[in-house]
Amino acid sequence: MPLLTLTRRAAALAVATVLAAPLAAQAQTPIKFQLDWRFEGPAALFLASAAKGYYKAAGLDVTIDAGNGSGGTVTRVAGGAYDMGFADMAALMEFHANNPDAPNKPVAVMMVYNNTPAAVLALKKSGITKPSDLNGRKLGAPGFDAGRKAFPIFAKANNISGVQWTSMDPPLRETMLVRGDIEAITGFSFTSLLNLEARGIKTEDIVVMPYPAHGVKLYGNAIIASPKLIRENPAAVKAFLSAFLKGAKEVIANPDASIDYVKARDGIINVDLEKRRLRMAIDAVVASPDARAEGFGVVNPGRLSLMASQVSDAFGTRTRIDPTAVWTDALLPAKAELNILPPVRR
């Protein structure tokens, strides 16, 4: 074959390669995702799929950022700064009901924490060992804390009254309890318990009253998406959920090894502590009895409707919450893909 012909073919191949490169890059749909909180143990559920290339294999260019509370995550997805996020269902409901005219209200597309992690925690030396002991006591939590905002539901379910509240920044919550400035706190069970231990309190000296164990069956955190993204690129949302499930299944099966993904994003974490936090989160809210009964990723319509009514009352929202507006199962993967919970340990 003439050298000129080979040269032309080589040139044509080079041009084709150059032209194809941008097209390949364009095939990766960018997704900006915000967590509800810092890079702690439970973040491994999302970081695993990024580290193992599952999002990329699904045609997505996913960036995952830390958050500073579910309310902020909901607001940023609504504002367009993020396409998707991880946020408390009650915070999402509150945004919908307080911003009825907002043009871009996020929608929950997959339930991850089937139960709220909210709990009341106290020190045994206070004499508080059960919900009824909270009558007339001094409680503390940040104003935006999910457990504090939902406390009226907990109080109604357990006939509690006369509680006095103190507000503080999150880092001071457990410190003030240890100092005796307050008698109990609300917080995520797997966060506040470990924070109290870090402040020198022994596990056996801490009383933990999880909301789900005391008559409050609120849903916890869900994956939320912008309605704009759902409308314009539902395939990208479906791809994200499928890729997330692959990584989450591996994390649930082997949580300790998964902390490496969190360490890669925040090099100063306490690895042993975050291993415990992740295991506690999985047991308490991801693979809980309610999650096993309903199935991972989905919601029970009746339970969601009751929650909508309870949150409307407890949060004093501007309008009543419409449960059909905050949730859709239209983008969920097939049931077989959702089956990521391991068998119950005997």
CB 107 within 8 A of CB 227: yes
CATH class of 118-214: alpha beta
Domain locations along the chain:
27-115+219-338, 118-214
Task: Provide mean pLDDT across the span 152-164.
Answer: 97
Query: Over 50: is that where the pLDDT of 123 sits?
Result: yes
User: How much is the mean pLDDT over the chain?
Assistant: 92
Task: Provide mean pLDDT across the span 8-23.
Answer: 41
Q: Determine the pLDDT at residue 343.
A: 85
Q: Determine the pLDDT at residue 346.
A: 65
Do 118-214 and 27-115+219-338 fall under one CATH topology?
yes
Query: Over 70: is that where the pLDDT of 15 sits?
Result: no
Query: Over 70: is that where the pLDDT of 18 sits?
Result: no
The pTM of the whole model exceeds 0.75 = yes
Q: Determine the pLDDT at residue 17.
A: 41
Q: What is the CATH number of domain 27-115+219-338?
A: 3.40.190.10
Task: Provide mean pLDDT across the span 121-150.
Answer: 96
CB 36 within 8 A of CB 88: yes
First to last CA, the chain: 72
pLDDT tens figures, 179-231 = 999 999 999 999 999 999 999 999 999 999 999 999 999 999 999 999 999 99
Task: Provide mean pLDDT across the span 290-301.
Answer: 97
pLDDT tens figures, 31-66 = 999 999 999 999 999 999 999 999 999 999 999 999
